[in-house]
Amino acid sequence: MSKEDGKLVATALSAAVAGAGLAVLAMKMIESTNNNNYNNNNGGGVNSSSSNTNLLAYHIDENRPIRPAVIMNDPSDLVGEHSHHSGGGGGTEFGVGVGGGVVMRRESSEALLLPHNHEEKMRRRIATRYTIEEENNQGRDSVTVRVPATSANVGPGYDCIGIAVDLWSEVTVSRVPEGDETGFEITAEGEGAEAMPKDETNYLVVGCKAAFDTANKPLPPLKYHVISRIPYARGLGSSSAAIVAGIIAGLVLAGHRLPCWGSEALLQIAAGIEGHPDNVAPVIYGGIQLGIHNGTRWLTERVANPTGLQMIIFIPDFVGKTSDARGVLSDTVTREEAAFNIGRAAFLVHAFETNNLDNLRWGAQDKLHQPQRGSKLYKYLYPMIDAAEKAGACCAYLSGAGPTVMALTSGAAGDIFAQREKERTDVLVAKAMIQCAKDFGVKGRLLVTNIVSEGARVVKVEPPFSTGEITYRDNI
- If asked whether residues 295 and 324 sit together in one domain, one would say no
Encode pLDDT of 283-338 as tens digits.
999 999 999 999 999 999 999 999 999 999 999 999 887 788 888 898 899 999 99
Look at residue 130 in the predicted model and tell me its pLDDT: 43
Percent of the chain with pLDDT over 90: 62
- If asked whether residues 167 and 300 sit together in one domain, one would say yes
Q: Provide the 10 A C-beta neighbour count for residue 255.
A: 16
CATH code of the domain in which 189 resides: 3.30.230.10
Contacts of 386 (CB under 8 A, 6+ apart): none
Same domain, 351 and 300: no
In a domain, residue 128? The reply is: no
Give the integer Cα–Cα distance in Å for 87 and 256. Answer: 39
Is residue 30, in this structure, part of any structural domain at all?
no
| Same-domain status, 179 and 84 | no
Does 28 map to a domain? no
* Pairing outcome for strands 222-228 and 288-293: unpaired
One domain, residues 390 and 328: yes
Per the structure, the count of domains in the chain is: 3
Handedness of CA 382, 387, 393, 399 (dihedral sign): negative
Q: Residue 294 falls within a domain, yes or no?
A: yes
Please name the amino acid found at residue 254: A
pLDDT at 125: 63
Residues 203, 295, single domain; the answer is yes
User: Does 245 lie in the same domain as 175?
Assistant: yes
**pLDDT for position 126:** 61
| CA dist., res. 239 & res. 245, Å (int) | 10
Range of the domain at 441: 310-449
Q: From CA 274, how far away is CA 120, in angstroms rounded?
A: 28
> Could you tell me if residue 27 is inside a domain?
no
Do 320 and 179 share a structural domain? no
- The predicted-structure confidence for 35-91, as pLDDT tens digits, reads as follows 554 444 444 443 434 443 333 333 334 443 333 322 223 333 333 434 443 344 444
For residue 24, pLDDT beyond 60 = no
Q: Is the pLDDT of residue 196 over 60?
A: yes
Q: Which of 81-85, 90-94, 107-111 has the highest mean pLDDT?
A: 107-111
- As a whole number of angstroms, the distance between CA 190 and CA 198 comes to 14
Judgement on whether residues 335 and 299 belong to the same structural domain of the protein = no
CATH number of the domain within which 336 lies: 3.30.70.890
pLDDT at 368 over 80: yes
460 domain residue, yes or no:
yes
Q: Are residues 158 and 292 in the same domain?
A: yes
State whether residue 60 is helix, strand or coil. Answer: coil
Does residue 421 lie within any of the structural domains? yes
Q: Point out the domain boundary residue: 115, 149, 167.
A: 115
pLDDT of residue 15: 62
The answer to whether residues 296 and 325 belong to one domain is: no
Q: What is the pLDDT of residues 213-236, one digit of tens each?
A: 999 999 999 999 999 999 999 999
Based on the fold, state whether residues 189 and 293 are members of the same structural domain: yes
